[in-house]
Amino acid sequence: MDKRVLLPTDFSKNALNAIRYALDLYQDQICEFYFLNAYQVNGYSIDTMMMFPEPGEPAYEAAKKASEEGFEKLMDILELHNDNPKHTFHTISTFNSLLYAIKDTIAKNDIDIVVMGTKGETGAASVVFGTNTVNIMEKVTECAVLAVPEVVRFVKPKEIVFPTDYKTAFKRKELNYLIEIAKYHDAFIRVLHIVRESELSHEQQVNKELLEAILKDTSHSYHNLTDHKVPIGISAFIESRESDMIAFINKKHNFFGSMLSKPLVKEMGYHSKIPVLTMHDVSQ
């Protein structure tokens, strides 16, 4: 089955690293890769009602030219290292905010997954997940988003950690991205529960059985950790096992939302080491 992968880029090293990760992740699969640069003009905010510069105005044309030249350099770099006949490249240069450009591209091109870096060109070294990344992971609900830290170099994933509290029912469709990557790379899915009560409630047990049915055709296992705060427990589990990826479901900003609040992002050092796959509640 062909994949359509969206790769936002600001032409930074971090964005290039995420692009290379995506190309390797889908190395043996027929893919259409859409490279997106959403450019803006200094002094103008697309998110407000301010007047925008018009095509033909010097500031607009300069920003457009910089975007086009950035793509020329990027394509030259990729052609030197990528001659995969299964991969087709498309470039999109647009005057827009990153979020709306991504949503528009997903709608127009039936995108399956967005793969992006965790920091942009202006990202401070002390910030693990940049504002844009967190914003995209929270608000792009049309498809999965995979965020790749700059320090990560591609290795075939051997195991993917999937934290859950079993408090909401699972749907097969929302887990398709996780199952697909796991099967494609023969990776184990490690379902992780940070135990807060002595035993699961009836509802939690029902949800766990539903998850078991959904994952029955994958290699997976269940793990419990006690006496840990959620972010610390997940981080310790990942570090102890040297896991390759972590996957969340964003269900109406409950569990996932608390995980990605900015203080916890800084606290959870694993974010700087492995890619984070964000899936979304299909009922939202």
Domain chopping of the chain, boundaries: 3-148, 159-280
Which ranges of the chain would DSSP assign to H, the alpha helix? 13-25, 58-81, 98-109, 131-139, 176-184, 202-214, 230-241, 255-259, 262-267
Question: Is pLDDT above 60 for 61?
Answer: yes
Domain 3-148 in this protein, CATH class: alpha beta
Over the chain, what is the mean pLDDT? 83
* Rg of the chain on CA atoms, in Å: 20
Phi, psi of 142 (to 5 degrees): -75, -25
User: In the prediction, which pLDDT does 1 show?
Assistant: 57
Q: Which residue shows structure tokens 């969206």?
A: 6
Higher-pLDDT residue of 122 and 104 is 104
Poorest-confidence range of 149-153, 189-193, 215-219? 149-153
Give the pair of three-digit tokens for residue 82.
Answer: 């990528």
Q: Which residue shows structure tokens 């999937």?
A: 162
Question: Is pLDDT above 70 for 266?
Answer: no
Per-residue pLDDT reduced to its tens digit, 13-25: 999 999 999 999 9
Domain 159-280 in this protein, CATH class: alpha beta
Question: Is pLDDT above 90 for 175?
Answer: yes
Q: How many helices (H) and strands (E) does the chain have?
A: 9, 10
In the chain, the N- to C-terminal Cα span, in Å, equals 26
Question: Is pLDDT above 50 for 269?
Answer: no
pLDDT-based confidence at residue 46 (cuts at 50, 70, 90): low
| Inter-residue contact 168 to 284 (CB < 8 Å) | no
To the question of pTM greater than 0.85 for the whole model, the response is: yes
Neighbouring residues of 213: CB distance < 8 A, sequence distance ≥ 6: none
What one-letter code names the amino acid at 95? F
Count of residues in the chain: 284
Question: Is pLDDT above 50 for 49?
Answer: no
> In CATH terms, are 3-148 and 159-280 the same topology?
yes
